[in-house]
Amino acid sequence: MNQALAVDATGVTKNFGTVRAVDDISIQVAAGEVYGVLGPNGAGKTTFLRMLFGLIRPDAGTIRVFDKTWDQAGVGVLDGVAGFIESPRFYPYLTGRANLEGLALLDGGVRPGLLEEVLEIVDLTDRAERKVGGYSYGMRQRLGVAASLLREPRLLVLDEPANGLDPAGIRDMRALVKRLAGSGLTVLLSSHDMGEVEEICDNVTILNRGAVAFHGTIAQLRTMAPDPGYLLSTTSDERALALSRHHPHVEVTCDPEAALVVTGPRPEVSSYVASLVRADVDLLGFTATQTPLEALFFMLTDESRPSAAHRSEPLEEAVR
């Protein structure tokens, strides 16, 4: 018998008045994987997670969690599930430890030693006796993960876990999620950051205005990514533009901020840059504008394009 999917959402739709927040989406998350739901703000990510947690009801479709639905099992759907929607909330006048102890009591208690284990996992052991009111935003996010781990879940759901964090906090949160995934825990996270999803996730669904713009693996997504772009600044942009005509596979255009934008396959771009050097055109700056996957993400979620549910052309054609 095949192992039940951690999450099996089929044809899920949710309307708020005349606004269709989630439009007939289907998402399957296998046990043991790290799955990303990616999209800009307003794409429907949090609405989907709220339906998974039973906070709101879908207007159509079915969500199964380890083969249980809300209609069949009620709150029993959340057995083995933990996580948070948006930012976790705690009593600011209590310590981190006291907050976790209170949550453990509300959930029926935890096995001896577990609280210390989760504090160590999220690297808050040394700060457990401090009041949460003095915690940084990143520490509160990690305390939210600790509270979730008290349930010893099989599925951990995280809504934008790195949102609002500084670069160090983002690094720590990504490392934490990687460690949890390495332990065999199934992780479903939402994000608007392609870099975060690319670094952490096995599979991804990209949403655009509530509809699915892409389903698949990160490897599949990479094969569809456009050529990378670079900002180029030289001592003679006029000569740089003229030399680009000898490199038909490289496109060089003027940026509104007076730099040049170079796009094309990496070997062709390298050849073009080498020709600038040979022609004594000095390079003052050469930096990537976006990673290929970031460029693809913005193309798939471009608000000026029709939503994915109503496109007639294949995705590969839309990207090209």
Instruction: Give me the pLDDT at residue 94, please.
Output: 97
Residues with pLDDT less than 70, the chain: 1-3, 225-228, 255-258, 290-320
Q: Give the domains, in start order, of the chain with CATH numbers.
A: 7-223 (3.40.50.300), 229-290 (3.30.70)
What are 62-117's pLDDT values in tens digits?
999 999 999 999 999 999 999 999 889 999 999 999 999 999 999 888 899 999 99
Give the model's pLDDT for residue 225.
67
How many Å is the maximal CA-CA distance in the chain? 74
Identify the pLDDT of residue 301.
66
Q: In what order do the strands lie in the sheet with 251-254?
A: 251-254, 260-263, 229-234, 283-290
What tens digit of pLDDT does each residue of 160-187 get? 888 777 788 888 888 888 888 888 899 9
Helix, strand or coil, per DSSP, at residue 13: strand
The reported pTM is 0.75
d(C-alpha 308, C-alpha 271), whole Å: 37
How far are the Cα atoms of 13, 149, 264 from residue 51, in angstroms, in the given order? 10, 21, 42
pLDDT of residue 187: 93
